[in-house]
Homo-oligomer: A and B are copies of this chain.
Amino acid sequence: MNELKQKILTDGRLLDGYILKVDNFLNHQLDVGLLERVGEAFAERFAGVKIDKILTIEASGIAVACMAARHFGYPPVVFAKKTQSLNMDPDAYEVEVFSYTKQTTYKVRVSRRYLSAGEKVLIIDDFLANGHAARGLIDIVRQAGAEPVGLGIVIEKGFQDGRKVVEDAGVRLESLAILKSFEGGKVNFA
């Protein structure tokens, strides 16, 4: 998606040569016009795929998933919650996810009320890096007996293992911008 790649080049900030900050349009300040086109791009990529529900994870994923829902005929959007809590909630599907950036494990939860057996679920997230969060969301969908029909990612770090993790899990992956490297102190796309 060209507009997105241009935005990454003009507005993304590369910290310490290897951390891409896009918090002026995706992770703290949101460019809702751009997200409209991001949602539209997902609808093109997944054209013809039956989707009953969109699943994402708080916080930034919520904006992307809502804008995508508009282009998929307004299926319900469910956002998984991140929590440090140790309590098991019997009414929730739950997985543990290891955060590489924070070097800690957190729990991801979705209430059993909002995922049902047989539902076809499109998972949407802002970033794909090592695939831990994506794998967790796929596991939650399968715990519910629902089917993860695809994973739509805004920015994929193509030099990390996320794609392999998602493909090994048997889920179709569509990323709108794939980063190849940060060589030369700049963002290079695949």
Stretch from A23-31, A117-125, A160-168, A176-184 forming part of the interface with B: A23-31
Residues on B with beta carbons closer than 8 Å to the beta carbon of A74: 32-33
Residues on B with beta carbons closer than 8 Å to the beta carbon of A32: 66, 69-70, 74, 76-77
Which residues from 63 to 86 on chain A have a C-beta closer than 8 Å to any C-beta of chain B?
Answer: 63, 65-67, 69-70, 74, 76-79, 81
Copies in the complex: 2
**Interface assignment of A20: CB less than 8 Å from any CB of chain B:** no
**Interface assignment of A114: CB less than 8 Å from any CB of chain B:** yes
- Contact indicator A31/B76 (Cβ below 8 Å): yes
Say how far A124's CB is from chain B's closest CB, in angstroms.
Answer: 12
Known: A35-B66, A66-B35, A66-B67. A28 touches B59 (CB 8 A): no
Distance, CA A182 to CA B168, complexed state (A): 50
Q: What is the size, in residues, of chain A's interface with B at 8 Å between Cβ atoms?
A: 30
Say what secondary structure dominates the interface of chain A: mixed
Distance, CA A114 to CA B23, complexed state (A): 9
Query: Out of B30, B63, B111, which one reaches A28, CB within 8 Å?
Result: B111
**Interface assignment of A62: CB less than 8 Å from any CB of chain B:** yes
- Further contacts, 12 of them, CB under 8 A, given A30-B78, A32-B66, A63-B63: A23-B114, A24-B114, A29-B78, A30-B62, A30-B66, A30-B76, A32-B70, A32-B76, A35-B66, A36-B70, A58-B58, A58-B59
Q: List 8 A-B contacts (CB under 8 A).
A: A29-B113, A30-B62, A30-B77, A32-B76, A59-B59, A59-B81, A62-B63, A66-B66
